[in-house]
Structure formats: structure tokens, C-alpha cells
């Protein structure tokens, strides 16, 4: 028999106490959830769920036989010394326990299996849908929130089946069956229970609400403590603390939060003790009143000892499931709030997705001509266009360098080629095919991107390289690493290609990470290559090594380079100068210098900075 055997809000997520969490109510008001949508998730498992309900009803009903067997033993078997009847009654008690235990195991297996399958489907759907979101979504959304919804909220929905639904079915069956059995045993004592139970329940719920408030404060302080641990003891956090000398301040802040948590923990434990004391009084007080009523001639009605014992046992099982039923509204609200938060992500529109009728762009035959035709782009929260009427053509196999001041639109323009953003006006084509008409998978095979922000997975070098192409052979990986000027470095490591790169690649320097990223891109062998300021944060010596790798990577490919250091783009086939989102000049390095315009001024400023640096 499944009952709610722990009403501690600290262990049940703070849901007990009879009042829904205001945050859950606000979530449902902001994003309502239709019951039909939730039911559709469980539709494929309806027969398993029906069997779960049947098992719960059967288990709860069978368990009610025990008090009647106890009455039979006390009133019949023992007084008459009827050994066969006693043996059958005792065997019946053991059988009831065994059957209910087996049914409970089956019910738990079925409900958990259904819950896990629904959770798996939702988790996969949310992850896949979020991967299709544009970069804008992730720049305006905290990473922790995404992880919380994907793991905590989806994981919490398991309780809809294994806790909320099963407890509701079990408690309903138990309360109804117990009430009927109590009435059958003694209607007089049943009326007494109806009078005594409401104030007992009210008192318990009042203490529960008091602890709920304290638990909520404790949870907030625990969250703060976890955040401080994450911020202060991660690789980046430790590095920041050491370089800023902020370690003592962080320790003091941590100690303050921990000290506040001490008081809350003490109050929470005292509130919990008061709650347990209240329930103990209730559990002791109600049977005492029943014994008193059974001993009074006016209310006993000729009750036997066996009936009294059986009635007391039944009445003792009524309180907890009844409390569970009174809290079912809170549990449902919490569960629906979880669905609401998950559905919010599933309902996010996909700004950049696959076309309904894609055009095939074969990576094996594509030439790689890139054309920007009257391209304009405006960010959703932008006050002015980031790009305005840009017309550029990059012939197949040629190199285009984009230069200009910070904020001139260089990175935005380059991002349109890989569809990290889509133009607001105009179009971007590869070999005459609009990139919006190509599937994202085909486009990723044609266009490769190497950016300043190099991201390496926390795995081996081999795993990082194969992230770009899982079926790559060892020879292909080594060839890509050689062309990226990083094979010798890898070969010198004790574990070679099986070396773990560490969190975010912290084991390697900036230049080494860049060359690993270049090798990863080369392994995919894209026809068009976008280099987004890939050397701007490197020292001169490292820049030369990375630039050599980039030169090798660019050979024979259409390359669009975003340059911070103008010395790296002198040999580009064409240089486009952007200002305020508009192409103001384009041509070769020599032609633009001779024109003595904006590019010439940028070159002059760069040369003066180089002299001052020396």
C-alpha cells in the first residue's frame, strides 16, 4: 500500500502545508498548461498507467483485511483456543503483507518505468529544440537556467507519476476503504473520529506551514552557498580570485552566508521537532479518546476487544493518507508548474531552422563562391541597423578580409555565412544558393568557423577532434593536426592524442587551443572558412604559429577573415572596410593604401601603435 509516509516539506520540496508556492502560481499564470497536453505525454503509456492504478487499488483494498483478521484472532480464535482458526488468521496476515509488498514492487516498477520514459522523451525534446535556437537566445539566457530546466525541472516531473499520481490514487482508495471499514466495525466510534480529525489536521497543517516558510529561507541560502562555491572554486573563479586578490573577501562572504544558514538550520530542526511532537500528540490522543468512548456504556454499544483493536488500527492508518489528499492540490500545482516551465522552452520559436523544401548543397562538388546581396541586419534590441545594404562577392577559393573599428559589423556580417544569424534584408548565397534554403547540417559541412573564443570539450584531444567528424580515422586526425601546426605538440605529450585537455582546455595556452580548433575544423574539410579574429588575443610569436596554421587551412578554400591586426590581411585577395554597418571601401591592400581613405588611416594608426609598443 502506498501512503505519504513523510510530510516533511524539507524532503518534499516544500510542497506540504496546504498552500501552493507563490512562484508556482506565478509561473502558471504567466504560462498556463492545458491538461490535454500533459495527458498526451502519457497517452502511449495509458495501459501501463491503468495497471498501476489497478495495482494500487488492489493493494490498498487487500491491506484493509488485516484489522479484520486481528479482530478474528482476538474475539474468536484466542478465547475459544481454536488453533486451526488461529493458524488460518495468522497465515492470512502474512499473506496480506506478502501480497501487498509484491504489488507495491510491481507498481513502483511500472510507475517508475513510465515516468522515466516520459522524462526521457521530454529531456531529449528540450535538448534538441534548444540546440536549434539562435545564438541570441543563449546570449540573453543564463546558462544555469537552461541546465536547471533541462535537468531539475524535467527530473522533477518524474514525481507526477511516481509520487503525485500514485499517492492520489493510493490515498483516495485508502481513505474510502478505511472509512467504510470503520463504519462497518463501529458507526459510533466513526462519528467520534469525524469530530476529532478536523482540529487535529488543522493543527498539524499549521505547524507544517510554519516549517515551510523556514525551509524556503534555508533553500535560498543553500542556493547562495552553492553559487559561491561554483563561483569561487571553479577554474575561472580561482584564477580571478588569485589575480584580483579577492580570496579573503570571498572567504568572508562565504562564512557570512554559512553563518546565516546555521541559524536557519536550527530553526528548521526545531520546527520539525515541534511538528513531530504535534503529530505524536495527535496519534496518541485520538486512540486515547477512542478507548475512552469504548469504555463508556453510552458509546460502547457492546463493543468487543477485537473490534476496538481493529478499529484503532484502521483509524491510525487514516490520518496520513487524508493529509496527503488535502495536499494534493499543492502537489498538482507544483507539478503543473514544472510542465509549464518545460513547455515554455519547447514552445520557443526557432528563429533559424531548416527550410521546408531544402536545396541540396553537396560538400563534394560545391565551389565556394560567397555573395552578399543588399544585406541588412538589425538585432532585436538594436537602435540602429548592424548592417545596411552590404554588397560583396568572394570568388571561389579567394580570400576576403573584413576590417573596421569595433562595432562596425564585421562579426555580424561573417556570422550570416554560417547562419548563426539570418539577414533582416537581402540574402547570402553560396554558389548562387541562398543559405536559408540549405539544411543546417549541409551548411555546417560546407562552412567552417574558427573564432577567438575557442571552446574545447572536457575530454581527450582525440575526442575533441572527432567532435567535428566522429568517423575520422587516426591518419586523418594526424594529417589535420599536422596542417594546423599542432601535431608535434600532441606527439610530445605523454598520452599523445589521449591527453585530457581539462575544463575548457585550460591545460593548453591560447595559441595551442587555437591550433587544436583549427585542426578540428580542417578535419571537417569545409569549402568555405570563416576566421573570426582568430589571432587577436595572441602574442606575436604565438600569432605567427597560429597564422601559419591558418594560412595552411585557407589554402584552396574560400576564406572570410575578420582581422583585428591588419598585418594579418595584407595578402588577402580583397579587403572590405566596414563603418557603421556599411562597406565604405574595398580593394587590395596596396590599392586601399594608395587611396588614402579610412583603411589607410587604420593602417597608419596600427603602425603608430606598433612603434609605441616597442
Q: How far apart are CA 543 and CA 540, in angstroms?
A: 5
- pLDDT (mean) for 441-458: 83
Task: State whether 235 and 262 are in the same domain.
Answer: yes
- Are 476 and 531 contacting, i.e. CB atoms less than 8 angstroms apart? no
- pLDDT (mean) for 212-216: 65
More confident residue, 44 or 179: 44
Task: State whether 180 and 194 are in the same domain.
Answer: no
On the question of pLDDT at 221 being above 90, the answer is no
On the question of pLDDT at 613 being above 70, the answer is no
Judge whether 325 lies within some domain: yes
Mean pLDDT of the chain: 78
Task: State whether 543 and 569 are in the same domain.
Answer: yes
Task: State whether 465 and 591 are in the same domain.
Answer: yes
Q: What is the pLDDT of residues 398-408, one digit of tens each?
A: 999 999 888 88
Q: How far apart are CA 406 and CA 390, in angstroms?
A: 17
* SS3 readout for 158-202: HHHHHHHHHHHHHHHHHHHHHHHHHHHHCHHHHHHHHHHHHHHHH
On the question of pLDDT at 296 being above 70, the answer is no
- Tell me the sheet residues that pair with 371: 393, 429
Least confident stretch, 190-199, 298-307, 338-347, 605-614 = 605-614
Judge whether 180 lies within some domain: yes
Task: State whether 181 and 191 are in the same domain.
Answer: no
Judge whether 360 lies within some domain: no
Judge whether 332 lies within some domain: yes
Beta strands 370-377 and 387-394: pairing type? Answer: antiparallel
On the question of pLDDT at 273 being above 70, the answer is no
Residue-by-residue DSSP string for 206-275: HHHHHHHHHHHHHHHHHHHHHHHHHHHHSHHHHHHHHHHT-HHHHHHHHHHHHHHHHHHHHHHHHHHHHH
Judge whether 357 lies within some domain: no
On the question of pLDDT at 564 being above 80, the answer is no
Judge whether 84 lies within some domain: yes
Q: How far apart are CA 595 and CA 589, in angstroms?
A: 10
Q: How far apart are CA 22 and CA 216, in angstroms?
A: 11
C-alpha distance from residue 314 to each of 90, 174, 227, 290, 564 (Å): 18, 10, 48, 12, 80
Angle of CA points 317, 323, 327, to nearest 5°: 150
Q: What is the pLDDT of residues 320-377, one digit of tens each?
A: 777 767 666 666 777 778 888 888 888 888 888 888 888 888 888 899 999 999 999 9
Which pLDDT does position 433 carry in this prediction? 93
Here the CATH number for the domain that contains residue 411 is: 3.40.50.300
- pLDDT (mean) for 250-271: 76
Task: State whether 41 and 162 are in the same domain.
Answer: yes
> Full-prediction pTM beyond 0.75?
no
- Are 110 and 48 contacting, i.e. CB atoms less than 8 angstroms apart? yes
More confident residue, 92 or 181: 92
On the question of pLDDT at 15 being above 50, the answer is no
C-alpha distance from residue 486 to each of 62, 501, 517 (Å): 71, 14, 10
* Strand residue runs (E) in 464-557: 528-532
Q: Which three cell numbers stand for residue 245?
A: 586578490
Q: What is the pLDDT of residues 16-39, one digit of tens each?
A: 445 666 667 777 777 888 888 888
On the question of pLDDT at 8 being above 50, the answer is no
Q: Which of the given ranges, 4-8, 266-270, 525-529, has the highest pLDDT on average?
A: 525-529
Q: What are residue 326's phi and psi, to 5 degrees?
A: -65, -25
Q: Which domain holds residue 501?
A: 370-613
Judge whether 353 lies within some domain: no
Residues 6+ apart with CB under 8 A from 489: 512, 515
Report the percent of the chain where pLDDT is more than 90: 13
Q: Which of the given ranges, 58-62, 146-150, 212-216, 238-242, has the highest pLDDT on average?
A: 58-62
Instruction: State the chain's maximal CA–CA distance in angstroms.
Output: 121
Q: What are residue 11's phi and psi, to 5 degrees?
A: -100, -15
Burial class (CB in 10 A: 0-12, 13-18, 19+), 32: exposed
Task: State whether 172 and 195 are in the same domain.
Answer: no
> Binning pLDDT at 50, 70 and 90, where does residue 272 land?
low
More confident residue, 353 or 10: 353
Q: How far apart are CA 55 and CA 114, in angstroms?
A: 15
- In 3-state terms, what secondary structure has residue 56? helix
- pLDDT (mean) for 443-460: 83
> Binning pLDDT at 50, 70 and 90, where does residue 282 land?
low
Here the CATH number for the domain that contains residue 341 is: 1.20.1560.10
Task: State whether 58 and 157 are in the same domain.
Answer: yes
- pLDDT (mean) for 584-599: 89
Quote the number of domains for the chain. Answer: 3
Judge whether 313 lies within some domain: no
Task: State whether 434 and 474 are in the same domain.
Answer: yes
Task: State whether 175 and 192 are in the same domain.
Answer: no
On the question of pLDDT at 422 being above 80, the answer is yes
Task: State whether 170 and 191 are in the same domain.
Answer: no
Task: State whether 497 and 382 are in the same domain.
Answer: yes
Q: How many helices (H) and strands (E) does the chain have?
A: 27, 10
Amino acid at each position: 500500500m502506498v501512503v505519504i509516509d513523510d510530510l516533511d516539506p524539507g524532503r518534499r520540496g516544500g510542497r506540504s502545508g496546504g498552500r501552493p508556492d507563490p512562484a508556482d502560481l506565478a509561473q502558471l499564470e504567466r504560462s498556463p498548461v492545458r491538461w490535454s497536453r500533459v495527458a498526451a505525454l502519457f497517452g502511449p503509456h495509458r495501459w501501463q498507467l491503468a495497471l498501476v492504478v489497478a495495482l494500487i487499488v488492489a493493494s490498498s483494498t487487500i491491506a484493509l483485511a488485516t484489522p479484520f483478521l486481528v479482530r478474528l484472532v482476538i474475539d474468536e480464535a484466542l478465547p475459544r483456543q481454536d488453533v486451526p482458526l488461529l493458524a488460518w488468521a495468522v497465515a492470512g496476515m502474512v499473506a496480506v503483507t506478502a501480497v501487498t509488498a509484491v504489488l507495491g514492487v510491481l507498481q513502483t516498477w511500472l510507475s517508475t518505468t513510465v515516468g522515466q520514459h516520459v522524462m526521457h522523451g521530454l529531456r531529449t525534446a528540450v535538448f534538441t529544440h534548444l540546440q536549434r535556437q539562435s545564438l541570441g537566445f543563449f546570449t540573453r539566457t543564463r546558462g544555469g537556467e537552461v541546465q536547471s530546466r533541462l535537468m531539475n525541472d524535467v527530473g522533477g516531473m518524474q514525481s507526477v507519476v511516481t509520487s503525485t499520481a500514485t499517492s492520489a490514487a493510493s490515498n483516495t482508495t485508502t481513505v474510502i476503504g478505511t472509512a467504510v471499514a470503520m463504519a462497518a466495525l463501529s458507526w459510533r466510534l466513526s462519528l467520534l473520529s469525524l469530530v476529532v480529525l478536523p482540529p487535529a489536521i488543522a493543527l498539524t497543517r499549521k505547524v507544517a506551514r510554519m516549517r515551510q516558510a523556514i525551509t524556503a529561507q534555508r533553500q535560498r541560502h543553500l542556493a547562495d552557498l552553492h553559487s559561491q562555491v561554483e563561483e569561487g572554486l571553479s577554474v575561472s573563479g580561482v584564477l580571478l580570485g588569485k589575480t584580483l586578490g579577492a580570496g579573503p573577501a570571498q572567504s568572508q562572504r562565504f562564512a557570512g552566508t554559512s553563518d546565516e544558514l546555521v541559524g536557519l538550520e536550527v530553526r528548521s530542526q526545531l520546527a520539525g521537532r515541534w511538528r513531530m511532537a504535534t503529530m505524536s500528540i495527535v496519534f496518541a490522543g485520538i486512540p486515547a479518546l477512542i478507548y475512552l468512548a469504548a469504555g463508556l456504556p453510552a458509546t460502547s454499544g457492546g463493543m468487543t476487544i477485537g473490534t476496538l483493536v481493529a478499529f484503532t488500527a484502521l483509524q491510525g492508518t487514516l490520518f496520513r493518507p487524508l493529509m496527503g489528499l488535502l495536499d494534493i492540490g499543492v502537489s498538482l500545482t507544483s507539478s503543473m508548474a514544472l510542465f509549464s516551465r518545460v513547455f515554455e522552452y519547447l514552445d520557443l520559436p526557432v528563429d533559424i531552422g531548416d527550410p521546408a523544401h531544402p536545396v541540396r548543397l553537396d560538400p563534394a562538388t560545391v565551389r565556394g563562391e560567397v555573395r552578399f546581396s543588399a544585406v541588412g541586419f538589425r538585432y532585436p534590441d538594436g537602435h540602429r541597423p548592424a548592417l545596411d545594404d552590404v554588397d560583396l562577392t568572394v570568388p571561389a577559393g579567394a580570400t576576403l578580409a573584413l576590417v573596421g573599428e569595433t562595432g562596425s559589423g564585421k562579426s555580424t556580417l561573417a556570422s550570416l555565412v554560417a547562419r548563426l544569424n539570418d539577414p533582416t534584408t537581402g540574402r547570402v548565397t553560396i554558389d548562387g544558393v541562398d543559405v536559408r534554403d540549405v539544411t543546417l547540417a549541409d551548411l555546417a559541412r560546407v562552412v567552417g568557423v574558427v573564432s577567438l573564443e575557442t571552446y574545447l570539450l572536457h575530454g581527450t584531444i582525440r575526442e575533441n577532434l572527432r567532435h567535428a567528424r566522429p568517423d575520422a580515422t587516426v591518419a586523418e586526425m594526424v594529417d589535420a593536426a599536422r596542417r594546423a601546426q599542432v601535431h608535434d605538440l600532441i606527439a610530445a605529450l605523454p598520452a599523445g592524442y589521449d591527453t585530457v585537455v581539462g575544463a575548457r582546455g585550460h591545460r593548453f595556452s591560447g595559441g595551442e587551443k587555437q591550433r587544436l580548433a583549427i585542426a578540428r575544423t580542417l578535419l571537417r574539410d569545409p569549402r568555405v572558412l570563416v576566421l573570426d579574429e582568430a589571432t587577436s588575443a595572441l602574442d606575436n610569436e604565438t600569432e605567427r604559429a597560429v597564422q601559419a596554421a591558418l594560412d595552411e587551412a585557407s589554402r584552396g578554400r574560400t576564406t572570410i577573415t575578420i582581422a583585428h591586426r591588419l598585418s594579418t590581411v595584407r595578402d588577402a585577395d580583397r579587403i572590405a572596410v566596414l563603418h557603421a554597418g556599411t562597406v565604405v571601401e574595398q580593394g587590395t591592400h596596396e590599392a586601399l593604401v594608395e587611396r588614402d581613405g579610412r583603411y589607410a588611416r587604420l593602417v597608419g594608426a596600427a603602425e603608430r601603435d606598433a612603434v609605441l609598443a616597442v
